[in-house]
Structure 1
């Protein structure tokens, strides 16, 4: 689990050394009269990478309703992210189509999108709407593409809950290319996607709906409707298959300081009655062993009677246990169903796993002895391994190999035995060749009771200029900066690896991420930097955001709002309800959240999780 705000440290510092005002223009002249043209430039270049921008100009006498730009890149050069556009590629051929909000370009007007790339090359073979970007050519079939795609076929339902229906279909074909699909609920457009599957949310339980799908191309031509499929949503108490009901929440040792959040707050907020598990974060990983993270917070701070769970003060007797560990003992007496797990690593201390992986058995033995230290014997019911990231990069980079994660967890399970809980927090990066492909998560799954899948922090103000995007999207959407950065793709990839759904817990962030200098309400806007936060720029607790910047819209199952020039995305009780519906539909083991102090004093968000899972 990343410490909020420190999830990623991108290699953007190299961009600061780029020459100011650098502009390298693609080999295309400026807009030709009477044509739709495009000009692409390098706005920054730091040798091993670049930032670019493309401007589509409508030189015709009529408005266009959509656009599609394509180009090729040389070997060794690639586009790594893009904004204000939908991106796809096949090999070194890249395609960029309009997002839902910038497809219409009036006569004489223009629109732009941006992108980041790696390597030192630059584009060639630029076309826009099928014609050369400089206006010297014409699209197939004459001056304009007027041929509509074929109708999608084979539309079917692939799953449902009381409030959602999942659909899939066979792709359409087009003389130039299909830009996307619109899903209709009766005669109302329910959602738009670029792939051949979608989940329609916000439905009414035990209600029959009819769905169709239409394809569209970049020129705005729309196909005939697909076959219709009728689906009746489940009863509000239903769901197939049934979901697990685990609810795990992280309690951070540093929360007792500035945040003034203590174990007693777990009880007074009503959170304790809704939990199955508490993850205590974090223990350190150093010298190949598990170690205490903060001795004062963990077992030394004195709690008075008014601060304690049971209304009695700690003892100053020599050797008496104090701190959060003693308070957790008292909480477990009051709520004997709660299990407490000690989590090791996290964003800051994951670098220690590289040495631990060299001798997994010794590491596991050190952890077992620490958790069963006589001073707090019986407190912990198991261990959580939060390695960010095995054989990949987080705050530091690990090169211990594909099997290192599996080997480490095999040793931990062997030492702790079958009666103790063993869990792990894992990446949500479902991109091809990304963090999920770097380690043997499938092989390691046999040794854990469950995985905490970190389905949040997909996007944030570490990309200081944007584009603005929800940090925890449930699904993909038109304009998402990285297509696979969403919960649905993450869970699908993990299940595709053969990991049982019941071993996957859905991650919820009790905080938002935001940018400032934003003028566009819809996602995809540019920014000047991270928005101000109470403890750190670009991040703020839900308990603050619900009043500071009330959410006014929802995209991909996550709420967002524009307040002045600050743009924030975060989960609310309503969007959490939708995500729990998804968890039930997928048969997941339950949900977890990061972290307790971000919720309100009466536990609005944890209540939504508990209610949503049942």
Structure 2
């Protein structure tokens, strides 16, 4: 079960989909106030935000306890819990069983105490996150809504942002788990542009939605958003007023990964998360540096931008050329789906043997992969510090090694 976080160059995002998007513009507005930084967020550059996926408890067998045993919990400042659904213009539960019903015995529980079947008792990931926060009082958890699969629901939400915001607040602040969450994250892929489906809500729809969320959640809760990193001319950043919406968010998570991948089955091979451009890059504007420069040029403060890292790689097969730019015959084999695999798998299956654009790549047999390593993450951290960015986020926790090799490089 997989819901990719962000795919900028997917063939699904073509003009044919755009033509099929018939979405009314948003009509509701709000009068929010900008939230001041909370004391725990003053050291903005040191934010470390990791995504935890609800479906990871199934095939991946990755649970909240693993965040603790890997040492990751001690290094995180925030966890983004992915994903809540967006349907019928409202926020909704993504997976009720994984979220709040799955039973954890003592061995599988964060604190070594089994869940109960008492009437009204909270179980599942939510209860485990509650226990994790007790072990780490400074850790905050933000509920993320949307994602690649469920972003189509934002079109309806944008028609009445105030009603949408109210539904989200009521769900996040449900008395059964209100103490678990410290705010909301919106992962709309992509406002006024194409992702899995296409959206035609208008350039200002995202701003109205974020304004309504800030008005409803107030200054004490976090309001964040994962956004496109497509800095190409006329690309997805240009399609939306991200600068206008920035005053309503605590920070943005530009998804500076998935720039290239085996949805272009014949290649050319290219690193999916380049920090900087390099000779022969398939498309200009598809780098972390391009995204940061474009977003800051619009007036978004660097401290409101987190640098994104993927804890996975993307790869092709049928490749004969070691350097980037080679031809391929299709996606390389992956553990859960074709063309993608976790870092913890790739470091042994296809060790990195080259770097380009500030990230790593590997050629083994006829397979070609690109992914970040502790060394390339260190380079990205130096870049983050030079640019004065607000911190780092990554997709997602289960891709790391059992002892947290990648998050240690962030730390």
Q: Same fold by TM (over 0.5)?
A: yes
1:101-116 pair list within 5 angstroms? none
Contact 2:49 2:77 in 1 (8 A): yes
2:196 alignment partner, one of 389, 395, 406: 395
Cα deviation code 1:3-29 (max 9, x no counterpart): 338735415999xxxxxxxxxxxxxxx
Aligned mates of 2:247, 2:53 — CA distance in 1: 28
1:423 to partner: Cα distance: 0.1
Matched with 2:4 is 4
The change in CA–CA distance for 1:422 and 1:406 in structure 2 (over 3 A counts) is same
Greater relative CO, 1 or 2 (CA 8 Å, sep 6+): 2
Matched with 1:197 is none
Aligned mates of 2:246, 2:364 — CA distance in 1: 43
Cα deviation code 1:319-363 (max 9, x no counterpart): 110000000000000001100000000000000000000000000
Secondary structure at the aligned position of 2:362 is classed as strand
Matched with 2:64 is 263
Contact 1:300 1:321 in 2 (8 A): yes
2:150 maps to 1:349: yes
The change in CA–CA distance for 1:12 and 1:386 in structure 2 (over 3 A counts) is closer
Matched with 2:119 is 318
Q: Which has the larger radius of gyration?
A: 1
1:383 to partner: Cα distance: 0.1
2:72 maps to 1:274: no
The runs of 5 or more residues in structure 2 that have no matched partner are 16-42
The change in CA–CA distance for 1:318 and 1:5 in structure 2 (over 3 A counts) is closer
1:483 to partner: Cα distance: 1.6
Matched with 2:326 is 525
Matched with 2:20 is none
Q: Which runs of 4+ in 1 moved over 2 A?
A: 2-9, 11-14
Matched with 1:371 is 172
Secondary structure at the aligned position of 2:11 is classed as coil
2:209 maps to 1:408: yes
Which has the larger share of helix? 2
1:285-296 pair list within 5 angstroms? 285-296=86-97
Query: How many residue pairs get matched?
Result: 383
Aligned mates of 1:594, 1:295 — CA distance in 2: 22
Aligned mates of 1:399, 1:607 — CA distance in 2: 41
2:378 maps to 1:565: no
Aligned mates of 1:498, 1:430 — CA distance in 2: 15
1:560-599 pair list within 5 angstroms? 560-599=361-400
TM-score of the superposed pair, with normalisation by structure 1: 0.61
The change in CA–CA distance for 1:406 and 1:13 in structure 2 (over 3 A counts) is closer
2:293 maps to 1:464: no
The change in CA–CA distance for 1:431 and 1:9 in structure 2 (over 3 A counts) is closer
- CA-atom RMSD, angstroms? 1.6
Cα deviation code 1:89-139 (max 9, x no counterpart): xxxxxxxxxxxxxxxxxxxxxxxxxxxxxxxxxxxxxxxxxxxxxxxxxxx
Contact 1:243 1:583 in 2 (8 A): no
Which has the larger share of strand? 1
Aligned mates of 1:572, 1:401 — CA distance in 2: 39
Contact 1:302 1:323 in 2 (8 A): yes
Contact 2:274 2:288 in 1 (8 A): yes
1:318 to partner: Cα distance: 1.6
The change in CA–CA distance for 1:12 and 1:4 in structure 2 (over 3 A counts) is closer
Matched with 1:428 is 229
Matched with 1:384 is 185
1:595 to partner: Cα distance: 0.2
Aligned mates of 2:44, 2:71 — CA distance in 1: 23
Contact 1:5 1:538 in 2 (8 A): no
2:55 alignment partner, one of 243, 254, 258: 254
Contact 2:6 2:255 in 1 (8 A): no
Secondary structure at the aligned position of 1:375 is classed as coil
Matched with 1:491 is 292
Cα deviation code 1:58-81 (max 9, x no counterpart): xxxxxxxxxxxxxxxxxxxxxxxx
Secondary structure at the aligned position of 1:352 is classed as helix
2:309 maps to 1:508: yes
Secondary structure at the aligned position of 1:284 is classed as strand
Matched with 1:152 is none
